[in-house]
């Protein structure tokens, strides 16, 4: 994997973010969701290689919890470890902020993402049947959590 740099993005980077995420179609985060994240001051990090944006991570630290709000890797850069590197970075940030857990929500049919999260020790703590609508059918959402420093807390 080529050297990846992380930088905080701003509202000015929104066109680049939307272009990166456009391949996801209906699953893409809406423009207003990114605008809200920037206005709220939530960290929006961009992973770049040779100056080009290859991935985006959005998260929120609140008290002793960290929430992964969105992670997306450019289609042509998938399978190269970028999502794993971003997740490692997020977990390190959460630990440094003395968070006791990291939460996320993912579509049940996003098998690559679910597998990645499970490889870090995330556990399903709740299911949301029919939470997402995609191409005329409903897809279950999975709420997942990772306990930091408390092995097994979320192993239900």
The Cα–Cα gap between 116 and 84 comes to 7
The radius of gyration of the chain's CA atoms, rounded to the nearest angstrom, is: 15
Calculate the CA 54 to chain-centre distance: 14
Backbone angles phi, psi at 70, to 5 degrees: -160, 140
In a domain, 64, yes or no: no
Give the residue numbers spanning the domain of 26: 1-58+70-84
Q: Enter the tokens of residue 124.
A: 């399903």
Q: What is the pTM of this model?
A: 0.89
Q: Are 24 and 72 in contact (CB under 8 A)?
A: yes
| Structure-model confidence comparison of residues 155 and 40, the more confident one | 40
Could you give the number of structural domains in the chain? 1
DSSP class of 34: H
In a domain, 24, yes or no: yes
- Characterize the bridge pairing of strands 137-147 and 101-107: antiparallel
Confidence at residue 145, expressed as pLDDT on a 0 to 100 scale: 97
| Structure-model confidence comparison of residues 59 and 154, the more confident one | 59
In a domain, 51, yes or no: yes
Q: What are the tens digits of pLDDT across the range 90-149?
A: 999 999 999 999 999 999 999 999 999 999 999 999 999 989 887 788 999 999 999 997
In a domain, 138, yes or no: no
Q: Enter the tokens of residue 59.
A: 């998260």
In a domain, 124, yes or no: no
Q: At what angle do helices 111-119 and 82-96 cross, to 10 degrees?
A: 40
Q: What are the tens digits of pLDDT across the range 30-68?
A: 899 999 999 999 999 999 999 899 999 999 999 999 999
Confidence at residue 156, expressed as pLDDT on a 0 to 100 scale: 42
Answer whether residue 82 shows pLDDT above 80: yes
Q: Which residues contact 97 (CB under 8 A, 6 or more apart)?
A: 61, 66
In a domain, 148, yes or no: no
CATH number at residue 77: 3.40.630.30
């Amino acid at each position: 994997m080529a050297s990846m740099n992380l930088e905080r993005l701003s509202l000015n980077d929104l066109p680049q973010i939307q272009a990166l995420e456009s391949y996801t179609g209906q699953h893409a985060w809406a423009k207003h969701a990114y605008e809200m994240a920037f206005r709220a001051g939530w960290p929006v990090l961009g992973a770049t290689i040779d100056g080009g944006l290859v991935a985006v991570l959005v998260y929120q630290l609140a008290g002793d919890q960290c929430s992964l709000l969105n992670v997306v890797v450019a289609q042509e850069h998938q399978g190269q470890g970028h999502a794993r590197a971003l997740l490692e970075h997020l977990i390190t940030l959460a630990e440094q902020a003395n968070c006791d857990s990291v939460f996320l929500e993912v579509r049940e049919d996003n098998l690559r993402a679910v597998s990645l999260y499970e490889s870090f020790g995330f556990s399903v703590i709740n299911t949301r049947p029919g939470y997402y609508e995609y191409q005329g059918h409903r897809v279950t959402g999975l709420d997942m959590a990772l306990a930091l420093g408390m092995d097994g807390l979320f192993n239900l």
